[in-house]
Chains A and B, each alone.
Chain A
Amino acid sequence: MAIEEQEPLFDAPIPGMSLTHELGARPWQSPAQFTTVDEAIDYYMDRMATEEFMEQAVDVLEMGVPITTVANTMQMSGVMEGKHSIDVGMLVIPLLMEMLMLIAETEGIDYDSGLTEEKPETTKDAMINKVRVEMKSRIDEVQEEPEDAVTEEEEDVSFGLMSRRK
């Protein structure tokens, strides 16, 4: 079994961070506005059907942001705003993804669904290797070029009008 190297998570909340405000002061600590999945679906479908949302979604997807990330961010903001609970949010995510895909395909843009299995370490290593090989070949080219240039200059000097006679 391969041991995965975990990167340290620096953006995690510090212990006791949730106690810096009194209980109930945050929207997600109050009862949710939409308690059922159906209500949450209606809320999101109404929002996503607007022209303004579609334009923004297309811009974000064109930039290469995966649909999984957009959908998760949307439901997370819904939880933070106190619109629905996190359980309802989890149930709604696949529907949000399907709707985002429909919007992207209606607008005819290429998008990243985020459904392919990610192997970030492999990708990073592959990219680093690719860049390393490319840099090495460029360095080799640069090192070879000056020698030729110098020899050409030496040859040119002998053909000038004011050049020294041999």
Chain B
Amino acid sequence: MLINPARQLYLNMDIDKIEEQQQAPSTGLLAPKRMMKNVAEDKVEQPAFRVAKHMKLLRQQREMLKNGN
């Protein structure tokens, strides 16, 4: 029986593979309309993605401490 899920949750966060935020598309009158299927794929709006971004910042701080910067 799994009592503490923390280990699995931590290991499942692939924060090294996070892509940098892409440039926002232009919102001009002639710009292509946003398709609904793209909205669902928008990772930035997922809470897990935001948590991963925070984690990445903290890990960078840790690595800086380790390297003595």
Q: Mark B29-69, 1 if CB is under 8 A from A, else 0.
A: 00000000000000000011011101100110110011000
| CB <8 Å contact, B54 and A95 | yes
Q: Which stretch of A55-63, A67-75, A149-157 is in the interface?
A: A67-75
Q: In this assembly, does B7 line the interface, its C-beta being within 8 Å of a C-beta of chain A?
A: yes
Chain B contact residues, majority secondary structure: helix
Q: In this assembly, does B5 line the interface, its C-beta being within 8 Å of a C-beta of chain A?
A: yes
Q: In this assembly, does B23 line the interface, its C-beta being within 8 Å of a C-beta of chain A?
A: no
Q: Which stretch of A18-26, A97-105, A128-136, A140-148 is in the interface?
A: A97-105
Q: In this assembly, does B13 line the interface, its C-beta being within 8 Å of a C-beta of chain A?
A: yes
Given A91-B51, A106-B65, A98 and B6 contact (CB-CB distance below 8 Å):
no
A43: min CB distance to chain B, Å:
13
| CB <8 Å contact, B55 and A98 | yes
Q: In this assembly, does B24 line the interface, its C-beta being within 8 Å of a C-beta of chain A?
A: no
Contact of B55 among A71, A90, A94, A115 (CB under 8 A): A94
Please measure, in the bound complex, the distance between the C-alpha atom of A90 and the C-alpha atom of B7, giving whole angstroms.
Answer: 11
- Please, which residues of chain B bring their CB within 8 A of the CB of A88? 47
Please measure, in the bound complex, the distance between the C-alpha atom of A98 and the C-alpha atom of B5, giving whole angstroms.
Answer: 15
- Please, which residues of chain A bring their CB within 8 A of the CB of B10? 68, 93-94, 97, 115
Q: In this assembly, does A92 line the interface, its C-beta being within 8 Å of a C-beta of chain B?
A: yes
